[in-house]
Amino acid sequence: MSDVISPRKAAAALTEYWSPRVIGELDDNYIKVAKVLGTLAWHSHQDEDEMFLVLQGRLRIEMEGSVIELAEGEMFVVPKGVRHNPVAQQECLLLLIERKSTLHTGTTVSEKTRSLGEQLRPL
């Protein structure tokens, strides 16, 4: 994956919501893009932080006891162990940076959960 890539264009080209795709690697981390709409699922990542950067649209990250509202160009890191639920009222494009060991929805499994194999599929 050494080609020049536009994360925003890659995310916009996705056809499935809540189905992140790996577009690059940085040491022990994957760089992913996603197109989201609606609610993902309450979950946590016990050993990994998770970074959300909004490429287009708005994202709300619900956490127990607080809510973060992100606008286009803003980012937030959900600390490891914090239960959170990403929500997009309208279509939103995201860039995510996560350790390679990070499970999509932690130990919570739903119909929206994607395996690493699914996330590694070509764009």
Q: Which residues contact 84 (CB under 8 A, 6 or more apart)?
A: 42, 43, 44, 50, 61, 62, 63, 78
Q: What is the pTM of this model?
A: 0.86
Range 7-101 has CATH code 2.60.120.10: yes
In tens, the pLDDT along 8-58 reads: 999 999 999 999 999 999 999 999 999 999 998 898 889 999 999 999 999
Domain ranges of the chain: 7-101
